[in-house]
Structure 1
Amino acid sequence: MNPSKQKGTAWESLIVGYLREHHDPTTHRNVQMGAKDIGDIAGYYLHALEAKAEKEIKLPSYIAQANREAVNAGEPFGCAVVKRRMKGVADGYVVRDVATDVRLMNRLRDAEALLEEYAFEAWLEHDAHHREAA
């Protein structure tokens, strides 16, 4: 295996470990599908995730690739998780285009409005649990 491939595989494995611990224990690396690639990692809720660990960061191509792979995977959102040099997974970057981010925020806003309307006590608990400053 070439060094670039090893670096990418290591980054994917670190992301999977982080997501298993902090998000979804069923997160896993995908088998590559060629022309109909479905992203590098499955298990990031509603997303096709493209992992990138390159010296030169090329956001336009990462986002275009993640969006294509989201379509292939049947997921509504695509994002790239980009390694930050000399930092761990938690300090990496999750990148998506503004249109995708607005669709995601609209979905979240609408879901929370429904929860607040139909189960106010549950919404209060949910809001308190997730309300932490950046």
Structure 2
Amino acid sequence: MSNPSKQRGTAWESAFVAYLREHHNPDARRNVQMGAKDIGDVDGYFLHAAELKAEKSITLADYIAQANRERIHAGQPFGCAVVKRRMKGVADGYVVRDVRTDVRLMNRLFDMENGLRVVDPQLYEALDKRHREAA
């Protein structure tokens, strides 16, 4: 691969997938590009079409528009851009979405947590404790 920008992008996607496999979903993988019907760069980021960017100049509006288009193609409820932070590792990168998408995500999380709290309070408490400690 002779294009340095493409090499940086591929390295960022691979590093993000490795991070997801360790901390989120062992089945995460890079997607094959599909042109006009692209479904995001990574599969396995729960409920999301993820558009990964490792660029010197960051253009959030373009990234979010692309992620929102690709989430429709991927059949996912949410789109996000995962932006590499210069000179930092994956855990210090940024996950970015527009406010509309974030509010939909928070509403879903709120409804699911409240539903679990009603159906199985002990499980809710255990999961809440686990995730608070992980932060």
Task: Determine if the TM-score, normalized by the shorter chain, exceeds 0.5.
Answer: yes
Paired residue for 2:25?
24
Q: Deviations over 1:70-95 (max 9, x none)?
A: 00000000001000000000000000
Paired residue for 1:123?
124
Query: 3-state SS of the aligned residue for 2:79?
Result: strand
Identity %: 71
Paired residue for 1:40?
41
**Letter of the 2:52 counterpart:** A
TM-score by length of 1: 0.98
Q: Would you say how many aligned residue pairs link Structure 1 and Structure 2?
A: 134
Query: 3-state SS of the aligned residue for 1:131?
Result: helix
Residue correspondence of structure 1 range 1-134 to structure 2 within 5 A: 1=1, 2-132=3-133
Cα deviation, residue 132, structure 1: 4.0
Query: 3-state SS of the aligned residue for 2:32?
Result: coil
Runs of 4+ residues deviating >6 angstroms: none
RMSD (CA atoms): 1.0
TM-score by length of 2: 0.97
**Letter of the 2:14 counterpart:** S
Cα deviation, residue 131, structure 1: 1.4
Q: Deviations over 1:26-72 (max 9, x none)?
A: 00000000100000000000000000000000000000000000000
